[in-house]
C-alpha cells in the first residue's frame, strides 16, 4: 500500500489550476493554426490568428487566456493500492482549488446556493469525479469549464429506432442552436449510451482527449468525422462571424445502453479547451 499525503495533492491541484488557465495545450494551438490555413473567410482567419496571439500573451505573461477561468472540474484516477493520509481526498482537492484560484489571481465564478447566488469567494467547491483503477498511482486532471460553453450543453433520450441518424441530427441541431454563444471554434464532446447521467459524464470526459484524436472504434471514429463535417457546414465560423471553422473536433465516448434507451449528450468546449494533468 502506497501512501500519498494530502499536502502533495493540495499543491498539485493548485499548480494545475493556474497552468490550465495560463497555458493552452499544443494540441489546441496546432488545431487552430491548421484551421486558419483552411479557413476561407478573411475575418475568420483574422480571428483565428488573434486566438493564437492571445494564447501566446497568456503564456508569456502568466495570465489567464480568458476572463472566465471556469468551474474547476476534476477527474481523479485513484489507484486501489493508494492510501491517502493526512486528511480527506475531496477536502484536499478543494483546498488546492482554493489555493490555485486565489494565488493565481483567477476569477472566482462559483455561487454557493444556485438560487441565492452568493459567491463563495474562492471558486470552491469543485466538481470531482473519482474512478478507482488498478495500481498505486493517483492521476489528477483539471478541466476548467467556462459558463458560456457549459450553458450550451444538451441531452436527449432518443428512441433506439432513431439510431445513428437520430444521433447526428440531435448533435448538429444542438451546435446550431448554440451559435456563437460558446465562443467557436469549439470542441464538441458527445456521450452516447448508458443512463441519463452517464452519457452526460461521457460527453464531458470526451473533451479531455487531445484535440483531433479519434475514438479507437472505427465506426465511432467515422461518426466523429461525419459530425465534424456537418457542423462545419453550418457556417457559424470563428466567434460566430461566419466561416468554415465552427468546430476543431468532435469527440465521442460510448457506453452500453438499456434495450429501451438511446441517451445522447452534447457538452461543448470553447476554443480555450483547457485541461492539465499530473500523476502522483
Please choose, from the candidates 34, 54, 11, the residue with its C-alpha nearest in 3D space to the C-alpha of residue 274. 54
Write out pLDDT tens, residues 7-38: 999 999 999 999 999 999 999 999 999 999 99
Torsion of CA 98, 104, 31, 56, to 10 degrees: 180
Q: What is the pLDDT of residue 212?
A: 87
- The contacts of residue 51 (CB under 8 Å, 6+ apart) are 32, 238, 271
CATH of domain 147-273: 3.30.1330
Say if strands 138-142 and 73-79 run parallel, antiparallel, or are unpaired: antiparallel
- Total Cβ atoms within 10 A of residue 233: 11
pLDDT recorded at residue 89: 98
Residues 6+ apart with CB under 8 A from 214: 221, 224, 225
Written as one string, the DSSP assignment of 9-73 is HHHHHHHHHHHHHH---HHHHHHHHHHHHH---HHHHHHHHHHHHHHHHHHHHT--SSS---B-E
Return the residue matching grid coordinates 441517451: 263
Nine cell digits for residue 136: 498505486
Its pTM stands at: 0.95
CA atoms of 188 and 206, how far apart (whole Å): 8
Q: Are 243 and 39 in contact (CB under 8 A)?
A: yes
State the cell numbers at 150. Answer: 457549459
Residues of the chain with CATH 3.30.1330: 147-273
Ranges of the chain with pLDDT below 50: none
Among the listed residues 151, 125, 144, 257, the one whose alpha carbon sits nearest the alpha carbon of residue 207: 144
Cell of 180: 456563437
Given a contact cutoff of 8 angstroms between Cβ atoms, the answer to whether 255 and 194 are in contact is yes
Amino acid at each position: 500500500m502506497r501512501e500519498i499525503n494530502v499536502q502533495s495533492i493540495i499543491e498539485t491541484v493548485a499548480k494545475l489550476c493556474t497552468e490550465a488557465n495560463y497555458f493552452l495545450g499544443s494540441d489546441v494551438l496546432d488545431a487552430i493554426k491548421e484551421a486558419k490555413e483552411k479557413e476561407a473567410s478573411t475575418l475568420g482567419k483574422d480571428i483565428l490568428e488573434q486566438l493564437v496571439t492571445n494564447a501566446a500573451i497568456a503564456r508569456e505573461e502568466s495570465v489567464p487566456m480568458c476572463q472566465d477561468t471556469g468551474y474547476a472540474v476534476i477527474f481523479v484516477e485513484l489507484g486501489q493500492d493508494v492510501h491517502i493520509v493526512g486528511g480527506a481526498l475531496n477536502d484536499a482537492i478543494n483546498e488546492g482549488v482554493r489555493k490555485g484560484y486565489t494565488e493565481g489571481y483567477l476569477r472566482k465564478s462559483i455561487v454557493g446556493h444556485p438560487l441565492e447566488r452568493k459567491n463563495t469567494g474562492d471558486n470552491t467547491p469543485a466538481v470531482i469525479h473519482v474512478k478507482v483503477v488498478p495500481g498505486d498511482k493517483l492521476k489528477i486532471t483539471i478541466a476548467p469549464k467556462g459558463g458560456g460553453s457549459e450553458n450550451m450543453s444538451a441531452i436527449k433520450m432518443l428512441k433506439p429506432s432513431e439510431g445513428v441518424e437520430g444521433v447526428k441530427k440531435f448533435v448538429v441541431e444542438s451546435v446550431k442552436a448554440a451559435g456563437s454563444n460558446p465562443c467557436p471554434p469549439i470542441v464538441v464532446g458527445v456521450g452516447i449510451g448508458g443512463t441519463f447521467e452517464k452519457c452526460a459524464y461521457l460527453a464531458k470526459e470526451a473533451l479531455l482527449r487531445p484535440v483531433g484524436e479519434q475514438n479507437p472504434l472505427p465506426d465511432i471514429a467515422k461518426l466523429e468525422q461525419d459530425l465534424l463535417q456537418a457542423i462545419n457546414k453550418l457556417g457559424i465560423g470563428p466567434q460566430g462571424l461566419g466561416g468554415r471553422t465552427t468546430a476543431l473536433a468532435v469527440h465521442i465516448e460510448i457506453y452500453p445502453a438499456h434495450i429501451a434507451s438511446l441517451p445522447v449528450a452534447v457538452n461543448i468546449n470553447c476554443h480555450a479547451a483547457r485541461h492539465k494533468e499530473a500523476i502522483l
